[in-house]
Amino acid sequence: MRSITLFTGQFADIPLEILATKAHQWGFDGLELGGHIDLHKASTSQEYCQEILSLLSKNNLKLFAISAHLVGQAVCDHIDERRHRSILPEHVWGDGEPEGVKQRAAKEVIAAAYAAKNLGIKIVTGFTGSSIWHLLYGFPPIDPQQINEGYEDFAKRWKPILDEYKKCDVYFALEVHPSEIAFDIVSAERTLNAIDNHSSFGFNFDPSHFGYQGVDYIEFLCRFKSRIFHVHMKDVDFDWNHPCEAGVFGGHTIFGDPRRFFNFRSLGRGKINFEKIIRTLNQINYQGPLSVEWEDGDMDREVGAQESLQYVRRLDFKRGNIQFDAAFSK
């Protein structure tokens, strides 16, 4: 049975000491730190890393991955003060001059690799940002070269980052997600091509971002099996039989609006087929943790984290080693 961890991003306002105690009481096997770690400090201070590891260990929690979603986002994005400033550390934002922000963000993503190394883990999960996400839908007509340039920009900015990851023997796991350079199977393939299949780059598989888009997330696992470095368990609700007022593009509404086509859900209350995901993870021999990323605007998060953990525990299973035939063997 795989370890089940809690992604801490949605609990970033709770001090790690407290959250770790709660997570342990709830029954989690570990944490995926998002917002509870100073990447820069961890990249340079073994002592700081040791404190974190001790704290976790005291609560019987394992660590498999840390998150660099927020700084990763700024590497390729068109920097917008009203949107990016709030998600970046002060020292990355600096004077806010876009190119400077992007370069400092890249450095921080590299810091995450060294932080991971210092923490003795292999995985950094995160976002990449994208300079071409806004070209969505494609009207007015898009010069295909514009898309190429977006992937070239990504490659130019991320190859040096990934080379550092390689040095650290750490892997960057992109959460394929709208607003990133990869957000479905086609764009994920193009992303890998753009960086010549850099061996330090792979994916943090999160099915919630695929289901409502109509993307085949089981095929995603099969197609990129050797690149599935980490897995988020996150659910989403949508119902193609009931068209609504704000479609997949969201109608400029905020998450949680009941008029929306999709909203994230506590695990088991949405439409993602986790049974099929678990079986496919078995087939592709994914051995890492299942990290619960809990988000459900209608529900108390502590109640939700617990029911989600129970849901994953019930669903995941010990693999068999007996080959049955159509009927019983002798």
Interface of this chain with a second copy, residues 196 to 225, rule: CB under 8 A: 210-217, 219
Min separation Cβ 197 and a second copy, Å: 18
Q: If binding is defined by CB under 8 A, does position 271 make contact with a second copy?
A: no
Tell me which DSSP letter residue 97 carries: -
The footprint of a second copy on residues 32-51 (CB under 8 A) is 34-35
Strand pairing report for 228-233 and 263-265: unpaired
Distance CA 291, CA 54 (A): 20
- The answer to whether residues 265 and 237 touch, using CB atoms and an 8 Å cutoff, is yes
Min separation Cβ 324 and a second copy, Å: 5
Q: Which of 24, 179, 225, 313 binds a second copy (CB under 8 A)?
A: 179
Q: If binding is defined by CB under 8 A, does position 94 make contact with a second copy?
A: no
Q: Residue 313: which residues within 8 A CB-CB, separation 6 or more?
A: 4, 27
The footprint of a second copy on residues 230-259 (CB under 8 A) is 238, 240-256, 258-259
CA distances from 193 to 91, 155, 314 (A): 32, 9, 38
Q: If binding is defined by CB under 8 A, does position 301 make contact with a second copy?
A: yes
Span from 47-55, 106-114, 195-203, 317-325 in contact with a second copy (CB under 8 A): 317-325
Q: Which of 280, 290, 292, 309 binds a second copy (CB under 8 A)?
A: 280
Distance CA 69, CA 269 (A): 25
State the number of CA atoms in the 13 A half-sphere of 96 facing the CB. Answer: 8
Nearest to 67 by CA among 133, 2, 12, 130: 12
Site size toward a second copy, by CB under 8 A: 106
Strand partners, 228: 203
Distance CA 22, CA 192 (A): 38
Backbone angles phi, psi at 4, to 5 degrees: -115, 120
Q: If binding is defined by CB under 8 A, does position 287 make contact with a second copy?
A: no
Q: If binding is defined by CB under 8 A, does position 142 make contact with a second copy?
A: yes
Min separation Cβ 52 and a second copy, Å: 18
Q: Which residue's CB is nearer to a second copy, number 34 or number 288?
A: 34
Min separation Cβ 165 and a second copy, Å: 22
Distance CA 64, CA 231 (A): 11
Q: Which of 104, 177, 198, 230 binds a second copy (CB under 8 A)?
A: 177
Span from 22-30, 65-73, 103-111, 163-171 in contact with a second copy (CB under 8 A): 65-73
Q: If binding is defined by CB under 8 A, does position 25 make contact with a second copy?
A: no
Q: Which residue's CB is nearer to a second copy, number 164 or number 294?
A: 294
Distance CA 75, CA 30 (A): 29
Q: Which residue's CB is nearer to a second copy, number 166 or number 246?
A: 246
Q: If binding is defined by CB under 8 A, does position 139 make contact with a second copy?
A: yes
Q: If binding is defined by CB under 8 A, does position 178 make contact with a second copy?
A: yes
How many CB atoms sit inside 10 A of residue 139's CB? 7
